[in-house]
């Protein structure tokens, strides 16, 4: 039986976002209880995979090496809370580079599916931007959750305008994790 998978956006979901991009590990600050949320999901049998647009790389604002250092700070913090991020997929491209991976395109999720044999009928996408929800839907994730942290409030207005309704609106990642673990288990398969 394949495992449940939770795809997470990074900025505005796990850590506080910045309009000037996260350019250094010192600029990476966890949103309260987001590492605990990942640990809770893991404890209930959900694998967690990061799906993040990092156009700061393509724009020449940060190097892949710096991105790596920032992600290491993130994974260390998550591990200290007892959680684990199974894999990380990032799109380094800018919006005009025409890649297949930049959300809302489903490329990164489809790549994760190919790598890890994920069943999208048992997959969740959690993000704070309209493009996260659109990406989850484009890929075919069963449940797409918008968090109100980061861009969340703006995203809700943008989605409403497009007639797209998230499956659940959570205050933050921890609330999303509580909702998922309370409502889904191996006895309650999305079909």
Active site residues: 9, 11
Tokens of residue 122, six digits:
């048992």
Residue 17 marked ligand-binding: no
Which residue among 49, 71, 91, 170 contacts Zn ion (CB under 5 A)? 91
Which residue among 6, 7, 12, 143 contacts Mg ion (CB under 5 A)? 12
91 contact, one of Mg ion, Zn ion, none, CB 5-8 Å limit per kind: Zn ion
C-alpha–C-alpha distance, residues 100 and 86, integer Å: 22
C-alpha–C-alpha distance, residues 26 and 10, integer Å: 16
Is 101 a binder of Zn ion (CB under 5 A)? yes
Contact criterion met (CB below 8 Å) for 4 and 25: no
Residue 128 marked ligand-binding: yes
Tokens of residue 26, six digits:
């010192």
C-alpha–C-alpha distance, residues 68 and 70, integer Å: 5
Residue 100 marked ligand-binding: no
Smallest distance from Mg ion to CB 58, Å:
16
What is the per-residue binding string for Mg ion in 98-137, x denoting contact by CB under 5 A? ------------------------------xx--------
Say if strands 4-8 and 123-127 run parallel, antiparallel, or are unpaired.
parallel
Closest CA to 141 of 1, 2, 4: 4
Listed ranges 24-32, 60-68, 96-104, 120-128: which one lies at the site for Zn ion (CB under 5 A):
96-104
Say if strands 46-53 and 168-170 run parallel, antiparallel, or are unpaired.
unpaired
Is 102 a binder of Zn ion (CB under 5 A)? yes
Smallest distance from Zn ion to CB 56, Å:
13
C-alpha–C-alpha distance, residues 34 and 28, integer Å: 13
User: 135 or 156, CB closer to Zn ion?
Assistant: 135
Backbone dihedral angles phi then psi of residue 7, each to the nearest 5 degrees: -90, 130
Per CB under 5 A, residues contacting Zn ion are 91, 93, 99, 101-102
Per CB under 5 A, residues contacting Mg ion are 9, 11-12, 128-129
């Amino acid at each position: 039986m394949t495992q449940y998978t939770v795809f997470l956006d990074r900025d505005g979901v796990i850590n506080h976002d910045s309009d000037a991009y996260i350019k250094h590990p010192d600029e990476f600050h966890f949103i309260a209880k987001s590492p605990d949320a990942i640990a809770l999901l893991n404890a209930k049998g959900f694998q967690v995979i990061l799906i993040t647009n990092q156009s700061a790389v393509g724009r020449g604002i940060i190097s892949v090496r710096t991105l790596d250092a920032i992600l290491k700070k993130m994974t260390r913090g998550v591990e200290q809370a007892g959680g684990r991020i199974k894999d990380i997929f990032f799109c380094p491209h800018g919006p005009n580079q025409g890649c297949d991976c930049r959300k809302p395109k489903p490329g990164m999720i489809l790549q994760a599916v190919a790598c890890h044999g994920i069943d999208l009928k048992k997959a969740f996408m959690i993000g704070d931007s309209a493009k996260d929800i659109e990406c989850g839907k484009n890929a075919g994730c069963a449940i797409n959750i918008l968090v109100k942290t980061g861009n969340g409030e703006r995203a809700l207005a943008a989605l409403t305008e497009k007639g797209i309704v998230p499956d659940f609106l959570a205050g933050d990642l921890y609330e999303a994790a509580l909702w998922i673990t309370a409502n889904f288990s191996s006895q309650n398969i999305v079909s």
